[in-house]
Chains A and B, each alone.
Chain A
Amino acid sequence: MIFWDFFGLCMANGGNSHTGGVGCGRCQFLSRWRLARNRVVVRARKHLSVSSDHGGASPGFFDRLRAFYLRSDAAKGYVLLSPVMLTMIALLAAPLILLVLYSFWTQVGLKVDTNWTGDRYRELIEKQAYVDIFWRSIQMSGLVTLVTVGLAYPMAYFVAFGVKKNKFIWLILLTIPFWTSYLLRAFSWKIILGYNGVINSGLISLGAIQEPLSFLLYNQTAVVITLAHAYAAFAILPIYVSLEKIDRTLLEAAADLGDGAWARFWRVTFPLSLPGVIGAAVLIFVPTTGDYVTPALVGGPTGQMIANLIQIQFLKIGDWPLGSALAISAMAGVAILVMLFATALQLAVRRIR
């Protein structure tokens, strides 16, 4: 049938393009011929009971699937997403749901009572120690965020605006601390800050102090220093990207309209780098609040954070429901704070004109 249609098309073209007069012998022949052909086609279609206009057999399942895939952007998107999406569902969403379920259950000895209860959350709010450690975690990671972003901004600014050649090399250099394991970095700070560490022995050999300083390690300051160093690249890179994107003509326009260097920075560069700053702040604040390696290594008794408490509930005390409730509340708290922070910062910067 495809053959017939193809042939018919050729004939139709031939009929149209030949320049004979109306009713010439050849035309009459052609039209009669076409009529006859149509009759054959109709009979053939009836015989095969196919309704397709193209006269082909109905497409198979795989053809239809293929057509659907080619037409649908959503389908293409999901196919591209699927490896990551499946991993995320298996390793992130499922455990998270389990965590939520556990937080509404009760630990009874070695068994878990699966009757619904909000007692775990009540326990968290009523026990002052839990609330305290939560706030302490927030304060510490807030401080870490502030310090890291504050120190990273000038570095990112320098690479974006000051470096003319080989920017790539500078960016690689900035990420060098990340070439070793996180654990090793935390340990190296232990060596630097320790009782017989680099700072203490250095100061003693210089004669600046007689006794080693004991306030360097095993407290909140040590945690803040270690975390700020560990997360530096997470701050530098997003801020660098947002600074790099700023059209330099905008700064010239600001200068042209009367702004000196500081005013230009405050009125143009900083507001336009805000997405990078917020990104960096979130990238640091969220994981540092939940960090438990660094406080465990350098935090000492006063430097413990919420993650250490969660770890104790799960691995030492064995109260999974309470641990789950702690984890879920910490997550919710951090999420709310991050949203509030980002919105407040955006609103504040919008007032810079």
Chain B
Amino acid sequence: MADNIIRIEKVTKQFAGGAKAVDDAHFNVERGEFFSLLGPSGCGKTTLLRMIAGFEFPSEGEIYIDNQASSLIPAYQRPTNMVFQSYAIFPHLNVFDNIAYGLRKSGLSGGELKRRVNEALGMIKLDGFGARRGDQLSGGQRQRVALARALVKRPKVLLLDEPLGALDKKLREEMQIELRQLQKSVGITFVFVTHDQEEALSMSDRIAVMVKGKVLQIAPPQELYEAPGNVEVASFIGSINLIDVTVKSVGAGEAVLDGAGFGQLRARAIDDLKAGEKLVAAVRPEKLALVSSRPGSGSFVEGTVKASAYLGDRSHYHVFVKGRTTPIYVAAQNAERAMTGGFDTAKSVYVTWDWQSLILLRR
């Protein structure tokens, strides 16, 4: 059995007079893992995090932190610390006292306190900022102080509630890398809440996708993106084209399908596939390519470019395929330098793909 620092067992949270914010969540977080809770706003991910922190108590189920049933232990007695979305830097204290806040509670004082706080200041690269007040810091610096204040307590689990949401794009990307490195070096389990899928994909060891209070899939980033477990996960993570298909026949590891507007399609078979079953075939936009002349073999479909957008490193196309109401979304890498070209609107094109990149999903 893996060493699980957090075990969430059938946890449900129902607010008075409201829908279930968290519905029967059941999963583990391994020790030393960078675990992300990913979902749209209002999906219950923050509620789940707050239950781990001890600010909310589950209506049903149990949360084990380091093998101790913790769901009813108040926040101030838990071995967890949190980085708040708004950072919650104490405005009446300077940076040093903010970081020392939790340590003073643990009875630390004098030289040891100073050493620990200065060590934390060094870790977040804010040496010499101890005397600054909270309102004299930039957003990025406040975020670092919040991080140091939580980490200096050496928690068993660090909880992060969208800590990068308020930063601008460039700083956010820097902090993503820094956070990841920090997590590896301190070896503390991070539970990271975000609605930003790129952030979750780039930082996490594993991601739990939550939609409407339910945990839909827990998987490493690559698996989540390349082999989503269901349609909801597939459409939440990245963009995806969905094609309604009917299974015609099932061969060895391969299925032949009939798709609306696509004619006959090939895809890798999934378990328990039966002829006549109705499924969804999904394919990522970047797995598709556009060519102007009819390919001799392979998977392709004819269509008309409805709209195109040039984004520098890549171009996006909406291709209208007969028999479909929604256009096919193609993301083409602009691998070669070209001052003209691309595919003009209303041009007749062929969308091609490798048949193995088609993912079969059950509704």
Contacts and interface: CB of A to CB of B under 8 A. Distances in A.
Contacts of A353: 93, 97, 100-101, 104
A272 B102 CA distance: 18
A20 interface: no
Nearest to A253: B88
A340 interface: no
A247 B86 contact: yes
A268 interface: yes
A352 B51 CA distance: 30
Nearest to A256: B82
Contacts of B93: 353
Nearest to A350: B92
B138 interface: no
Contacts, number: 65
Nearest to A272: B92
A267 B102 CA distance: 11
A347 to B, nearest CB: 13
A238 to B, nearest CB: 17
Given A252-B84, A253-B82, A254-B101, A259 B92 contact: no
B81 A257 contact: yes
B122 interface: no
B75 interface: yes
Nearest to B78: A256
B55 A252 contact: yes
A250 B88 contact: yes
B363 interface: no
Max chain A Cβ within 10 angstroms of own Cβ: one of B90, B91, B153: B90
Max chain A Cβ within 10 angstroms of own Cβ: one of B53, B76, B91, B149: B76
A289 B92 CA distance: 31
B153 A257 contact: yes
Interface residues of B, number: 27
Interface string B320-335: 0000000000000000
Chain A contact patch, size range: 10 to 19
A257 B74 contact: no
Nearest to A267: B101
B106 interface: yes
B102 A257 contact: yes
Contact of B153 (A258, A260, A263, A272): A258
B147 to A, nearest CB: 12
Given A272-B91, A353-B100, A353-B104, A256 B76 contact: yes
Interface in A258-285: 258-260, 263, 267-268, 271-272
Contacts of B92: 268, 271-272, 350
A258 B91 contact: no
Interface in B70-109: 74-77, 80-82, 84, 86, 88, 90-93, 97, 100-102, 104-106
A291 to B, nearest CB: 33
Interface of B: 53-55, 74-77, 80-82, 84, 86, 88, 90-93, 97, 100-102, 104-106, 149-150, 153
The 10 closest A-B pairs by CB, nearest first: A257-B102, A253-B88, A258-B105, A249-B88, A255-B75, A271-B92, A353-B97, A256-B82, A255-B76, A258-B76
Interface of A: 247, 249-250, 252-260, 263, 267-268, 271-272, 350, 353
